[in-house]
Amino acid sequence: MSLHSGAARHRVLVVGGGTAGIATAARLRRAGVTDIAVIEPSDDHWYQPLWTLVGGGQASLDETRRAEEKLIPEGVRWIRAAATAVDPDAQTVTTDRGSVVGYDYLVLATGLQLDWDGVPGLADAVGHGAVSSNYSPRYAPYTWELIRNMRSGTAIFTQPAGPIKCAGAPQKIAYIASDYWRRQGLLDKIRVVLVLPGDSMFGIASWRQTLEGVAARYGIEVRLSSEMTALDGPSHKATIVNNATGAEEILDFDMLHAVPPQRAPGWVAASPLANPASPFGYVEVDKHTLQHRRYPNVFALGDVADLPTSKTGAAVRKQAPVLVANLVAEMRGVGKRKSYDGYSSCPFVTARDRMMLAEFDYELEPSPTIPVIDTTKDRRDMWLLKRYGLPAMYWHGMVKGRV
């Protein structure tokens, strides 16, 4: 790994050094591709799926972090800067350091942007008082502090409308908290409200039925087709609107876990690479090849790609080998392409020691990778996979391009 800060041109330029970017760069190196650069401003690399357990008091924040420089694959240049613009006609990316980096092939793996201002009052309220969010390493430990200190009152857990990363996370923390309060003998003194934008708890019946049973087990009030539209942190009041009926209610709360609206980074949304039909600015790619529809030397994967499936690390694990195979085929002028079937998975933690694994494809058909286990039920062994197995696979396999 070497550091590069000046203007240059590279055979392959990867924008984003998170899960998708590092996994792709590692796989490209394993495929024999040279002259690769990664644009990434952060010194820290995070394993974000574990933040739910950090917020639930079952993992430390430190174990979700590694130094970015140790994960940059050997032979790949690290441009320690933030991308601010892309010109796909000139084949350049501009950074916040004023440099312009050229490319022959571009991989967009920027992730998405948390829009804390998307709900009036949220940006000012989160991280103190009674409001937290596991969607930031800055706030996840505070979630556990709120859960641990709560003895009675109302706890609200919200999810915004629109695509978000790890769409099961807003539910998971509600279940982890409820199970903790149940074990402490406090649950009958706490009103738990779960605000979800969809018309059901999950889009596939077998897993939906399990989740409905979990919510009923804890006595959680589930508000479907609803979202939080405003927050008054100092007064501990949340405005909840039912988008199906237009009905509005203002709930007092003693604790609130909020998930901010999410969208593509502004410079991506403003670029010619964004899907003009997407209100969120995600990159327009073929959903099977991950190749841009209008610029064949551009590919995208992960959260920033406009794909009709859940934005999860498990999806990236399946996307990266397809993208790399197709990018290499494009470089070599080979016509045959690999196809991504939309696989994603949501590990739903339903208690402090139980989890079920929802795996599915573009058609919302079950796509199990552990066929001998019924993953439609919450199980102890699945929780152990979440807590210990998946992080190990991530650090030792996925970001090294092996899994």
* Residue numbers annotated as active site: 166, 346
Residues 6+ apart with CB under 8 A from 322: 289, 290, 338, 339, 340
Distance from the Cα of residue 260 to its chain's centroid = 12
- Name the CA radius of gyration of the chain, rounded: 21
Collapsing DSSP to helix, strand or coil, 248 comes out as strand
CA gap 313, 166 in Å, rounded: 8
State residue 125 phi and psi, 5-degree precision. Answer: -90, -30
State residue 179 phi and psi, 5-degree precision. Answer: -65, -40
CA angle 173, 314, 316 (to 5 degrees): 125
Tell how strand 76-79 and strand 36-39 pair up: parallel
Residues 6+ apart with CB under 8 A from 372: none
Residues 6+ apart with CB under 8 A from 318: 340, 341, 343, 344
Distance from the Cα of residue 279 to its chain's centroid = 18
- 376-384 long-range contacts, CB within 8 A, separation 24+: 376/206, 376/207, 376/210, 377/210, 378/210, 378/214, 378/348, 378/350, 378/351, 378/354, 379/354, 379/355, 380/353, 380/354, 382/347, 382/354, 382/355, 382/356, 382/357, 383/349, 383/351, 383/353, 383/354, 383/355
